[in-house]
Amino acid sequence: MNDTEGADFQALLRIAGITIPAARYDIMLDAYRHWLELVKVLDEPMPMAEEPAAAPRFGGEA
């Protein structure tokens, strides 16, 4: 296990105020690793004009 990943995982759970049962710890840690892999997409640059205000079409824009 990557020590930093494991420490981050435990910190996030502590901040969230939830506890993983020991029997499910490794499975949830694996899910966390999948999560980290997925959100790399969110680190890719986006134009500043790309704002969330209208996502997806609140207010009825057709």
Residues that bind another protein (CB under 8 A): 9, 12-13, 15-20, 24, 27-28, 30-32, 34-36, 38-39, 41-43, 46, 50-52, 54-62
Q: How far apart are CA 44 and CA 50, in angstroms?
A: 13
Residue type, 42: L
Q: How far is the CB of 23 from another protein (least distance, A)?
A: 10
Q: Quick one: 9 exposed, middle or buried, by C-beta within 10 A (0-12, 13-18, 19+)? A: buried
Nearer to another protein, 3 or 49 (CB): 49
Q: Which is nearer to another protein, 3 or 60 (CB)?
A: 60
